[in-house]
Every structure is written in C-alpha cells, then in structure tokens.
Amino acid sequence: MTNQVRVRFAPSPTGPLHMGGVRTALFNYLFARRYNGVFILRIEDTDQGRYVPGAEDYIIESLKWCGIDIDEGVSEGGPHQPYRQSERKDIYREYAEKLIRSGNAYYAFDTPEELEMLRKEKELKGEVFQYDTHSRNTLNNSLTRTPEETKSLIDEGVPHVVRFKMPENEELNFHDIIRGIITVNTSTLDDKVLFKSEGMPTYHLANVVDDYLMQISHVIRGEEWLPSLPLHVLLYRSFGWMDVMPQFAHLPLLLKPSGQGKLSKRDGDKLGFPVFPLKWKDPFSGEISTGYREAGYYPEAFVNILALLGWNPGTEQEVFSMPELIDAFSLERVGKSGSRFDPEKAKWFNHYYLQQKSDNEIAKDYLQILEVKGINSSVEKLEKIVSLVKDRVNFVSELWEQTSFFFTQPEKYDQDVIKKRWNADTPDMLEKFTVFFERAEDFTALSLEEKAKVFIQEQQMNMGQIMNLLRLCLVGESKGPGLFHIAELIGKEKTIYRIRQAIQKIAGKHQ
Ligand code: GLU
C-alpha cells in the first residue's frame, strides 16, 4: 500500500443528501487536502430497491456548490473506475466465493418466509431471532448440509445468499481514531448477508472490497456505521488484508437544536430551517424540500457551519474559509459526543459572510429578486441602498423588508407614530419642508443633513418630532436607514411628492 492519504465519500443514492452527509463529505475532503491526499466519490447503489432517480446528480451538485472538489469519482473517472458499484457488480461475487473457500462464509438457502416465521416465533417468546453462531447450526445452509447437497441445490438454481461466518466467542479489539479502542465479543454479532440471491452484494461486502481495491487509507463516516465496524474488520482479516486495512473514524451524530436526538428532516420542517444543501423534489411524491442554497445561504457559510459540527479548532476562532479549514483540520479534534445544530448560529454565519461580500455582488443578487417583483432598478442604485442596510439582514432576500420603501411609496402610515407626533401644526411644518427640499440644489444626504439642521433651528422646530414625521411620510413607519439617505436615493421629486401625499392622507383624519 502507498502511504498516500486516500479517502472516499460513499453515499447511497437513496434520496437527497442530508446535511450530516455533506458534513461527512466535507471532513473527508478536508482530511484529504490537509495531507495532500485524494478525495474519491463512490456511489454505493447496490440496493436497487432503494435507488432514487436524480439522487446521484443531486449529490454531485451539492458537493460542487459547497466547493468540495472530487479527485476521482463517477464524473471524474480515475485509476479505479468505475466508481459506481452497480457497474462493478461482477467483481463482488468472486470475493464472496473466496470467503466461502477459506471457510469464512457459507451459502444459506432459508427462504425469506422461513426466516420471517422464525422471527415471529421468537417474538412471541419475547426474544429476538438472529442468524448467528448459535442458530446457524439448525438452519438451512451449507454448514448443515453435505457438500453434495449444497452443490446440487446451487446447480438446481435454488435461491441462496452468502452469509459471513462469524467466529465463535472471540473478543475483538479495534481502533477508531475518534473513539479509541472498541471491544466487542463476536458471539453478540449476527452472520450478515454478504451476497444477495439476486446476484448483488450487500453494502458490507461491496464497501470493504471497494475500499480495499481503491486503496482507501482512512474511512471517515457517520456514527451510524459504527455497529458495522466489527464485521468490516473481520472481513479484512478473512481476506488476509489486515496489513492494508484503512484506519477508521466514526463522526458524531448531528443532534436536534434541543440537543435531544438525531437531527431529522421533520425538525427542519417544524423549526423552519433546511436540512438539505439544495432544494429537492421527491421524484415519487413530488414533495419539495428547501435547501440551504435556495434559502439564501452562501456556500461559505454552510461549509463553516458544518465544519464546526463535531470538529473544533481548539481556539476561539469561529470563522473559517475553506483554505483555513484545510489548514486547521484534524480528526484528533473531532469529538465523540453528538453535536447540536443551532439554526440561529447558522443565520449568524450567513450574516457574517454577507457583510464580507461587496455591495456590487449583493446588489446584483438583489436585482434578480426585484426583477421577479417587477421592479426596475440599477445595480448602481442598489449598491447604495445595500450599503445602507446590509448590516440589518442575514439574507439577500431579507433586503426587501428593509428597503421596499425605496421603490414603492407608503400605502399605510403607522398609527402609533401619528398618535405620538402628529398635531395641528404638522401639515404646515411639513409643507415648509417641501419648500426646503425644493430649494436644495445639492440633493445628497450629507448636504441635506447639514442644511436641514440649520433650517430646523431657524424654524424653531423640534428636531426629534420633525425627523420622525418626515420618516413617516417617506417610509410609512419608523424604520429604515438615515432619513436624508432615503431622500437622496428616492430623489427630490418623490421626496416632495411623498410628503404631500402623507399630508393629504393623514391630515384629513387628524385635524
Ligand atoms: N453507502 C454508505 C452510506 O450510504 C457508506 C457508509 C460508509 O462510508 O462506509 O452512507
């Protein structure tokens, strides 16, 4: 084996990639890049019953969006292609037979109905049926039949599977980079199916054989695969591959925001955050699930969030670019215990990355949203608007809430402001201000503000009151950035028009 780091992300295309899956891909990628290794995408599609059309493309697009570059894989090719297990079908039977010949596996002829009956019988007694070191001696397999019988059953085409022959009562120790030494007694384990009757390998066989053939140095995957580890180690041993067995690292679970239990799609639906990187339309039910991309997250933010779910840099630093992550990442700093996902923190990250973007980039994105609303504007104007309010939003889509008054005049006026500020003198005061605006030659925020201060003093107006009233006229409520910035951006004509409109609409009712 070479000493090169070779890691793989090996999803099954059974649906959209959960954010936990993307985190697994990310940690593999970071580890590969950190040690100048190779990151492989292998599609594990041997379970044809669970195959979902579109899932593979979805996985590839998701990784691409995150900036996780694949070195070898289904679309990149590579020295060990094909990288899709359904196209490697013929390889696995040979390995299953190898195990039979070495006495590490056997043929089993029990029908699904027979096994189901045994399961039910046990269940009635409050017990659990396992095909294992004890029960296998009473079941229908090549261990209980003579070699001749076995051969003739196979020759007759009787459906059969290949099962792993679990060693009896053996204390196994193995090492996980994150969890340390794990000890299991083989008598608690079952004889897993390695090869199915329809001629396909199961996950366990295909996964181990491919990791071996693809010279994988480290298997980095989710905690849910930890129970499979003893079998996988035993498969390496049975094949005689212990000297090239990869090192294992099982990543901690992602937990619900409450910290109780595994993060699921339902939590996202309930609490209003995506659990998938990209939007997904279920090809069978047509159900649509939102994705981080469509929810307005930047990939940098999404990656940053994921990186801190389970890994910590050991410092106070929270914001990491991809190159910084590559530099800082190590499996030693991945924790064992589940990692709580905090949707508010996710928004905070997006807010942070949004502030790092140029006004031009945000303006271009915002222009698209405005176009959908049928509003015309220019990037130049939007740059100015964006610079005034971007610190108030987490997402570009939230800009509308903060800036709609730049494009449309108020339809309603905040009653609380009216109650508090509007009196009999107000229309007169506002009229005076329309004249002020009318006369302003330099209609920029800076100049308007300077001159307005002087004007307010001269007119002996109350600063707080008049400013609030002007804002009411231009915005309709007491929100928004600096008043004179708003005036500058909507322009002289509209500023004056909005003040007149407000006088007309409000004055009638409040004189
Ligand atoms: N196909 C498995 C999955 O869907 C791969 C697990 C592993 O990485 O070994 O996650």
**What is the CA(461)–ligand 1 centre distance, in A?**
72
Q: Which residues of 38-61 are buried (b: 16+ CB within 10 A; e: fewer)?
A: bbbbbbbbbbeeeebeebbebbbe
Atom of ligand 1 nearest to the CA of 228: 9
Q: What is the pLDDT of residue 510?
A: 52
Atom of ligand 1 nearest to the CA of 219: 8
First to last CA, the chain: 90
**What is the CA(84)–ligand 1 centre distance, in A?**
13
Taking CA atoms only, the protein residue closest to ligand 1 atom 3 is: 11
Other Cβ atoms less than 10 A from the Cβ of 289: the count is: 18
Mutate to test the pocket of ligand 1, among 6, 8, 12 (most ligand atoms within 8 A of CB): 12
pLDDT in tens, 55-89: 999 999 999 999 999 999 999 999 999 999 999 99
Q: Which two tokens stand for residue 124?
A: 């009635």
Atom of ligand 1 nearest to the CA of 21: 10
Stretches in the chain below the pLDDT threshold 70: 1-2, 509-511
Handedness of CA 351, 354, 359, 362 (dihedral sign): negative
User: What are the E-state strand segments in 179-299?
Assistant: 180-185, 193-195, 218-222, 247-251, 254-255, 280-281, 288-289
3-class DSSP state for residue 132? strand
Name residues whose C-beta falls within 8 Å of residue 378's C-beta, 6 or more positions apart in sequence: none
Q: State pTM to two decimals.
A: 0.93
Q: What is the pLDDT of residue 509?
A: 62
**What is the CA(380)–ligand 1 centre distance, in A?**
49
Q: Which amino acid is at 175?
A: H
Q: What does each C-alpha distance from 498 to 72, 215, 401, 419, 506 come to in angstroms? A: 61, 71, 19, 19, 12
**What is the CA(208)–ligand 1 centre distance, in A?**
11
Distance, CA of 292 to CA of 62 (rounded, Å): 10
**What is the CA(225)–ligand 1 centre distance, in A?**
7
Atom of ligand 1 nearest to the CA of 24: 8
Atom of ligand 1 nearest to the CA of 220: 8
**What is the CA(399)–ligand 1 centre distance, in A?**
40
Distance, CA of 164 to CA of 166 (rounded, Å): 6
Q: Which residues of 447-461 are buried (b: 16+ CB within 10 A; e: fewer)?
A: ebeebbeebbeeeeb
Q: What is the pLDDT of residue 507?
A: 85
Q: What is the pLDDT of residue 2?
A: 56
Q: Which residues are catalytic?
A: 265
Closest Cα partner for 478 from 405, 398, 429? Answer: 405
Mode of pairing for the β-strands spanning 161-164 and 193-195: antiparallel
Distance, CA of 478 to CA of 455 (rounded, Å): 22
Do 2 and 215 contact (CB within 8 A), yes or no?
yes
Taking CA atoms only, the protein residue closest to ligand 1 atom 5 is: 10
Distance, CA of 37 to CA of 31 (rounded, Å): 8
Which residue intervals of 408-482 are DSSP H helices? 415-421, 426-439, 445-458, 463-475
For ligand 1, which residues put their CB under 6 angstroms from it? 10-12, 44, 203, 207, 221, 225
**What is the CA(393)–ligand 1 centre distance, in A?**
38
Taking CA atoms only, the protein residue closest to ligand 1 atom 10 is: 11
Q: What is the pLDDT of residue 48?
A: 85
pLDDT in tens, 416-470: 999 999 999 999 999 999 999 999 999 999 999 999 999 999 999 999 999 999 9
